[in-house]
Structure 1
Amino acid sequence: MRRLTMDLPYYHGPLSKRDCETLLLKEGVDGNFLLRDSESMPGVLCLCVSFKNLVYTYRIFKEKHGDLLAFLQTVEGAQRQIFPNLEELISKFEKPNQGLVVHLLRPIKRTRPCLRWRRSKINICPLQHSLNLTQTS
């Protein structure tokens, strides 16, 4: 059974970059993370993680590949990795030295339903297909 992106407690929906940075940097801890919708690219997710008082953003792109999620390049030259769901993608990057600037330590959970969920409780995120992830600067 596929789990909707909206069901993930660390998915914040259409959270602005500024609000994301405020949430992640509030406690000054490396490895805080959350998922949000990209502001500039509709249908794309951003995995945002704090490290040394900065927020690093990795874009997760849809890619058709059966029912799997594809994760593409966290750093230049990194090999493509495929995951069956977002939970396994996150689980992989909770381990050190997997290609992110820092491993994911603490999910920043939303405190209320995300805007996308409030608009339509049956809105199935298009990320049920496949995902690619690339780091933005």
Structure 2
Amino acid sequence: MGSCLQGNMEREGMLVQSIYYGKIGSEATERLLGRYGHDGSFLLRDSETVQGAYCLCVRKTPFVHTYRLAHSADGWSLQLVAGNRLQSFRTLETLIESYRSGIASDANIATLTHPLDKTQLGDISFGRESVYMEM
């Protein structure tokens, strides 16, 4: 599973690669966005429940909103709770930039303003911390 997702990431642009945190849990995500982010900060992680899907997590105080991004023959799309899919995009980068700029307005999602770039966070161990928390 991991290698398939990693392969997808290698074809994505720098924005997606910089905000992709891999297999971290929702609690670790909330701690990261709470500690290092502010309203509009967002990151991308692997879905904990759907293999091959990602979660776009956005801080909008007092919550972290999580949106599942699923891949189909049409490309990547935001998947709503009811299972409905919205507009499809060729890449994750295009999807994120479209919602960030307001071009894609078919969903009422929290505003994406500040990518939480993992290279800017220094030497934190979010990977090990999340594994420890799940045990």
TM-score range, shorter chain: 0.5 to 0.7
Superimposed CA distance per residue, residues 104-126 of structure 1 (whole angstroms, 9 cap, x where no aligned partner):
101112247x97xxxxxxxxxxx
Select the residue among 72, 97, 104 that pairs with 1:91: 97
TM-score by structure 2 length?
0.66
* Structure with the largest fraction of helix: 2
Report the counterpart of residue 11 of structure 2 in structure 1: 4
- Once the two structures are overlaid, the 10-residue window that deviates more, 26-35 or 43-52, is 26-35
Structure with more contact order per residue of length (Cα contacts < 8 Å, sep ≥ 6): 1
Cα distance, 1:73–1:18 mapped onto 2, change above 3 Å: closer
Superimposed CA distance per residue, residues 29-74 of structure 1 (whole angstroms, 9 cap, x where no aligned partner):
2111000001122211000001122011100112123xxx231455
TM-score by structure 1 length?
0.65
Aligned residue-pair number? 110
Q: How does 1:1-137 map to 2 (within 5 A)?
A: 3-5=10-12, 8-27=17-36, 29-65=38-74, 69-74=75-80, 80-96=86-102, 98=105, 99-111=107-119
Cα distance, 1:87–1:80 mapped onto 2, change above 3 Å: same
Cα distance, 1:39–1:104 mapped onto 2, change above 3 Å: same
In the alignment, structure 1 segments of 5+ residues that lack a partner are: 116-137
Percent identity of paired positions between Structure 1 and Structure 2: 33
* Matched residue type, 2:39: D
In the alignment, structure 2 segments of 5+ residues that lack a partner are: 1-7, 128-135
| Cα RMSD, aligned residues only | 3.1
* Matched residue type, 1:101: I
* Secondary structure of the structure 2 residue equivalent to 1:56: strand
**Does the CA contact (< 8 Å) of 2:56 and 2:66 recur in 1?**
yes
| 2-structure distance, mates of 1:12, 1:27 | 14
| 1-structure distance, mates of 2:81, 2:108 | 7
